Structure 1
Amino acid sequence: MREPDVTQATLSSDRAPPFSGISRDALVLRLGVAALVGWLLLTIALPLWSLLSKSFQDGDGNFVGLANYVIYFSTPSLFGSIYNSVWVAVVSTVIVIPIAFIYAYTLTRTKIPMKGLLYSAALLPLFAPSLLSAISLIYLFGNQGLLKGFLFGGSIYGPAGIVVADL
């Protein structure tokens, strides 16, 4: 028998070319997902790792372990702020969910005029920056606001004001 020459040896290889079983769309999709994961690692994971690693150091960069966390969690005002945050979240949720349900039910189950306008009005806060509503609330209900009298001696600066701003 004759031995194969170099050309025949390379052509008779049993190895499939790389990516031969993957369609072009699947390859582009995988490369896109890999690029997205890389971008997320670069923009989210690395800064978080930097912050976390710095939390175990003192101001001079010396390793102190969990000492910073012990100091932070022994702060007396921490649990007060957690209580206020949970209180504002619960009160806002209890107020907003029934209002949103009635609004959504009205838009989907009734035949009211200008339904499209009301639907668009519901989406409007998504397009307006949150700072805009905060500034308008301060202008209206702040210490020198136009409608300060409607607060019955209360203040917009506090938990009640945060709940009103969340609505």
Structure 2
Amino acid sequence: MDLLNPYYLQIVMFFIINAIMGISIYFTLASGQLSLGAAGFMSVGAYVGAILSLKADLPIVLGIIIGGLVASLVAVIIGLPTTRLRGLYLAIATLGFGEVVRVIFLNLDITNGALGLSGIPSIPQELTNLAYELDIDGLMGIDAVAWGNLMAIIMLLAILVLIIAFCVRINN
């Protein structure tokens, strides 16, 4: 069994991304609130980043940063009226927000509707191209695609560790 199979490495990347998403839910739970809108905000950031990368030809990293900023702005806009809600009412409002985001993106022409976006550039692909440029293809018996995926996993792990350290710091 080849552990450096691109499929397995992609599963590890998705696992880390979902762990980061799960920690975002922890922040609101730690404050005593139940917010179910984190997936909606993640969707806003992901779609904005993907559309900017595809349609405006921005580099993927810049698209991700702008997507995160737009998601933060949407969170402030949604958060202002919902700050007075508590308990079940907050959960229902934020769940409703997530559903509204899903339906909006499902029906927009720019997102290709239910077919979704195709050809979105990815950081692992960019890192694979970098691995080819650095001529590390075959280094230690690992091909450039695996190097690109491994570098992406290392970046995601670093982000995850920083977020966990931030959570521990807040608790202490």
Same fold (TM over 0.5): no
TM-score scaled by length of structure 2: 0.25
- Of Structure 1 and Structure 2, the greater helix share is in 2
Instruction: Indicate the structure whose relative CO is greater, using CA pairs within 8 Å and at least 6 residues apart.
Output: 2
TM-score scaled by length of structure 1: 0.25
